[in-house]
Structure 1
């Protein structure tokens, strides 16, 4: 293509030289048309050359990108905790060496009431965690993740800011409520306490009785 382009440029220079010397209108018109044809052809060749160069660069970039392949076995993340702030619920997972894996190996997916985490190829395994039925809705677009030293931090942006979360999930809330002893407001407090002790005694084992 380089040789063909060079030939066209030489042809163009010669046509321009002839056009400067020509005096007859018919000759000048013919040379002008030929000049336009050559210029158009040169422009097309230049565009093709630029496009091929761009494709080569894209191919080189693609070849240099290492896509993480999921290998090994998958384990459930068990070392984690959470705390809340006015605008977000912060969920942190302790994973030794997670800051050393490629950024694309740490994947997080959010929905309005859940999030799941997958860390690929960390120390020969994949670590995952799924949290469903969040206590309150979150903003999917504004939620995010951060990878720090040995820690993955999941930031769930509350839809209702400044609203406290007593628990992380609805299930946790329901379990805690079931654990609370029930009292009758109209019953004497001492009688209510006796009922609780009686229930503990009835549900207890032989040693307790």
Structure 2
């Protein structure tokens, strides 16, 4: 029986094939989001597996496993709050004791449509939060972070020409809510999320979009039947 990691790798292969064949922007955007999500899940699964291999002292007695403070495993941040003003969108992440770590251990990388937070060596663990496809473009130069007591604040600077209210933090969240897409559940079969995305795109698409998906799907299956892999 295939492991979760193997199933995720198969899903990633499928998405890459479809993304390569797709020519419609809407299809490519949705597939790119799914590709990033699957790659993050694979990375997390591999990190979890590497932590499950304790070093043995001898052939009979396992050694006590002590996680080095500088290389602790990474925890994915999923809980946060956010609000907005005329100039900024602020994301609030609660991390107990974060104000006590060196400021250089709190790193944030911004792009026009994403941010990536990494907090290193907080109580022997690393904490990560990656948000792609922000609802609106932001000013990278004007965006920043603040560390308060037990809290990290990500400050996204609105572009001067962009003054509309954000009803959602990301474009994916907007599409999921407005089109009632099935929510992603990490406990379910990893293939279900991908199939739901493709099914929804197909149902909502025009004839050109459906033809593109059908063609990519057939070519993907033909490659699988011939035993071609990317891993």
Taking structure 2 as the reference length, what is the TM-score of the superposition?
Answer: 0.47
The alignment partner of 1:176 has SS state of: helix
**Structure 2, gaps ≥5 residues long:** 1-68, 182-231
Quote the residue 2:113 is aligned against. Answer: 113
Residues 86 and 161 in structure 1, CA contact (< 8 A), matched pair in contact too = no
Deviation (angstroms), 1:79: 2.4
- Equivalent pairs, count: 112
Alignment partners' CA distance in 2, 1:177 and 1:137: 20
- Asked whether 1:101 is paired with 2:113, we answer no
Higher RCO (Cα < 8 Å, 6 or more apart): 2
Alignment partners' CA distance in 1, 2:87 and 2:165: 9
Deviation (angstroms), 1:83: 1.0
Deviation (angstroms), 1:78: 2.2
5 Å matches for 1:99-178? 99-159=99-159, 160-178=161-179
Deviation (angstroms), 1:82: 1.0
Alignment partners' CA distance in 1, 2:79 and 2:123: 16
**Structure 1, gaps ≥5 residues long:** 1-68, 181-209
The alignment partner of 2:179 has SS state of: helix
The alignment partner of 1:179 has SS state of: coil
Alignment partners' CA distance in 2, 1:144 and 1:161: 18
Which aligned runs of 4 or more in structure 1 are off by greater than 3 angstroms?
A: none
5 Å matches for 1:1-209? 70-159=70-159, 160-179=161-180
Alignment partners' CA distance in 2, 1:165 and 1:172: 11
Residues 81 and 91 in structure 1, CA contact (< 8 A), matched pair in contact too = yes
In angstroms, what is the RMSD of aligned CA positions? Answer: 1.5
Question: Could you say which structure has the larger radius of gyration?
Answer: 1
Residues 98 and 152 in structure 1, CA contact (< 8 A), matched pair in contact too = yes
Deviation (angstroms), 1:81: 1.3
Taking structure 1 as the reference length, what is the TM-score of the superposition?
Answer: 0.52
Deviation (angstroms), 1:70: 3.9
Alignment partners' CA distance in 2, 1:70 and 1:89: 32
